[in-house]
């Protein structure tokens, strides 16, 4: 299960809408081993394409150095699909290089870039195997949020089509 705070969740959707029709991409870093996506880092899609995304190689190096310096890891790696569903493509699966990350996909198809619900889904991708997982949106993280799945603050919402 991915537990993510509402501000970050909404910021990812806003980023996807802003870059539509090109794919948007980025990372949410968090302390190593915490499974808490704490620091949102929107990245430039160097491919500037409606069907492909890739972090610029220089940006990638700087990002990983920064995370190393902060004892962080990429808890979430996200990108948008702008004309297809929020499900990993064959390319996404083949290129998934972070076995510990939650791969989040957002779809801005069918006018979702302007208004209405946006699909926000999360997956684990390991050795070519895709497993979808529940997304829990919380107002803020609480102690033990990621470890035991309990959330004692605010509303939770079982993924999919949140209204925005």
**Should residue 111 be labelled a site residue for other proteins when binding is judged by CB under 8 A?**
no
Which residue of 30, 37, 42, 88 would you call a contact of other proteins, by CB under 8 A?
A: 88
Dmax of the chain from CA atoms? 41
Strand partners for 162: 118
- What are the CA-CA distances from residue 109 to residues 18, 19, 49, 83, 157 (Å)? 13, 12, 15, 5, 22
Cβ closest to other proteins, residue 44 vs residue 157 = 44
**Should residue 84 be labelled a site residue for other proteins when binding is judged by CB under 8 A?**
yes
**Should residue 52 be labelled a site residue for other proteins when binding is judged by CB under 8 A?**
yes
**Should residue 55 be labelled a site residue for other proteins when binding is judged by CB under 8 A?**
yes
Which residue of 41, 44, 60, 130 would you call a contact of other proteins, by CB under 8 A?
A: 60
CA dihedral 104, 147, 139, 3 (to 10 degrees): 10
Cβ closest to other proteins, residue 27 vs residue 118 = 27
Cβ closest to other proteins, residue 77 vs residue 151 = 77
**Should residue 77 be labelled a site residue for other proteins when binding is judged by CB under 8 A?**
yes
Residue 127: which residues within 8 A CB-CB, separation 6 or more?
A: 99
- Of 133, 142, 140, the C-alpha closest to 8 is 140
**Should residue 48 be labelled a site residue for other proteins when binding is judged by CB under 8 A?**
no
- Of 39, 70, 36, 29, the C-alpha closest to 142 is 36
**Should residue 99 be labelled a site residue for other proteins when binding is judged by CB under 8 A?**
yes
Residues that bind other proteins (CB under 8 A): 23, 25, 27, 43, 47, 49-55, 57-58, 60-61, 64, 73, 77, 79, 81-84, 88-89, 91-92, 95-100
């Amino acid at each position: 299960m991915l537990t993510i705070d509402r501000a970050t969740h909404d910021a990812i959707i806003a980023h996807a809408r802003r870059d539509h029709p090109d794919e948007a991409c980025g990372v949410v870093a968090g302390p190593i081993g915490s499974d808490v996506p704490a620091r949102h880092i929107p990245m430039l899609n160097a491919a500037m394409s409606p069907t492909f995304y890739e972090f610029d190689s220089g940006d990638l190096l700087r990002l990983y150095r920064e995370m190393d310096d902060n004892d962080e890891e990429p808890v979430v790696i996200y990108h948008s699909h702008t004309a297809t569903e929020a499900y990993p493509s064959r390319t996404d699966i083949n290129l998934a290089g972070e076995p510990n990350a939650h791969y989040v996909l957002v779809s801005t198809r069918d006018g979702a870039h302007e208004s209405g619900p946006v699909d926000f889904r999360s997956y684990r991708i390991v050795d070519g195997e895709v497993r979808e997982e529940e997304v829990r949106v919380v107002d803020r993280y609480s102690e033990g949020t990621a470890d035991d799945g309990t959330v004692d603050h605010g509303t939770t919402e079982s993924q999919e089509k949140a209204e925005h």
